[in-house]
Amino acid sequence: MTEFVFNAKKRSLQNNVKVILTSNSSVNTEFCKEETVKELKNAVKEAKFDGSYGKCVSVYNGKNRVFLVGTGAKPTAAEIQELGGKIYGWISGFSKVAVFVQPLPKIKADSSDVACNLAFGMELGGYRFDKYFTTKNSDDYPQLEQVEFFASDGKLNNQDYDNLRAVANAVRYARDLCNEPANYLTPEVFADDIKRLEYLGLKVDILEEKQIRANGMNMLLSVAQGSHNAPRVAVIRWEGTPESDAPKLGLVGKGVTFDSGGISLKPSSGMGDMKGDMTGAAVVVATLKAAALCKLKQNIIGIVGLVENMPSGHATRPGDIVTSTSGRTVEVINTDAEGRLVLGDCLWYLQEKYGAEVIIDVATLTGSTMRTFGSEYAGLFCNTDGMAADLCEIGEMSGEKVWRLPMNKEYDKLINSDIADMKNCGPANAGGITAACFLQRFVKEENAWAHLDIAGVDRDDKGHYLTPKGATGWGVRLLTKFVGCW
């Protein structure tokens, strides 16, 4: 892991590699030796560099390399983070780098905010999952050991980065979980890993199959019954203000460690990506981890249903009817619409057992939502206008954008069953909406609830400045911002 150091002193000016941020074409002479300033000014003139966002000129005189990087006039925090990921790509081959933050007069953020967001972007952009390579070239190992930040106003302090460091840790943790293959990350192994987090002060209860059955979570069990890997339900509690009487916040995550589709078998093409159908659970667990690392002054309860959806002689059949923990019956029309069955039982249990009043669930739920938004937005479904507005705003601020989709009685009646209280999926059209309507039936009317369908944003098959190819950990930044970690 790269060490990030925020320091008001200028003892590292001798570093051979420097990055200077600017919103225009000027070069601050206090950061460079005279001959380097001259070379930079010539490079700026030749490249017509004007300090616009993401632009860069670089000079190298055989000993020192300097990057002059444009921030643009009014970059947002999310844009600065993305710039950090971009800069990481330029400097990752060096061992130690000094970054100099010049004043950005047209934005409210001070130099410390800029430096912290840059470091955050570097941590996200520098993520790699190489656990299962048996051989690597020396060039494949991380080279960047330390990045030291300086500012003209001297307003830098290592403590300023503590919360963002915790969030970066959580994002990387979620990505690690999601990149694990399903033969290693079974429901039992996932539950054991969650239990390990008690060292941070989290309280973790793991429900095994007998306890799950005793609680009537038959929808969840119906998904798991085709696999030889037994299900688990993990309840994770962070009590930052134990005596608080504030509304109880609950997070719910879908943890299908592999989704074959069950008897309604998926096509073989792309099925390997279904190891990531537990991303919602990973995001919830990582958010609780960040809350603990930040010592957040808030109470949060998370619950994740951990199952594997497989076809076998024991598997649930299309047409079967199961009774949920709420007592209502569900006709299983399609065993590949399994995530909502897991979430429905977990949603009800969280409200009944722990009294959650503000609830967000996260799931890679439907191809319908993915086809609507691609990899740009997650689908947001919400029963409260104020909560929806907050999540949309926080999505823009965190760089994890959401777009609200409608739910109404006309959509809801599409999941009525002729022989049970409801069926687990509706017609082919509006699949993401009818899935959300199914979940809403397990939310008490008095509670505020939002559903995030993150199918499509959970993976990046090409790679990006902040999300190298593979699992993105999408949702950790959004939820940690929502609960107040940063």
- Catalytic residue numbers read 266, 340
Which of 177, 175, 181 lies closest to 466, judged by CA?
175
> Which residue in this structure is represented by tokens 């590292």?
12
Which of 162, 436, 153, 451 lies closest to 290, judged by CA?
162
Label each residue of 97-132 as H, E or C.
EEEEECCCCCCCCCHHHHHHHHHHHHHHHCCCCCCC
Q: What's the rounded Cα separation, in Å, for the pair 244 and 241? A: 5
Which of 342, 326, 332, 236 lies closest to 289, judged by CA?
236
SS3 assignment, position 149: strand
Asked if 250 and 359 touch (Cβ cutoff 8 Å), the reply is yes
Considering only the C-alpha atoms of the chain, give the largest distance between any 2 of them, rounded to a whole number of Å: 82
Distances (CA, A) of 374 to 290, 426, 459: 28, 22, 11
**CB-based contacts of 103: which residues, under 8 Å, 6+ apart?**
111, 152, 153
**Interior/surface letters 391-409, b for 16+ CB within 10 angstroms, e for the rest:** bbebbebbbbbbebbebee
Interhelix angle 77-91/111-125, nearest 10 degrees: 60
Alpha helices, H only, 108-208: 111-125, 162-179, 187-196
Q: List the structure tokens of 306.
A: 């951990």
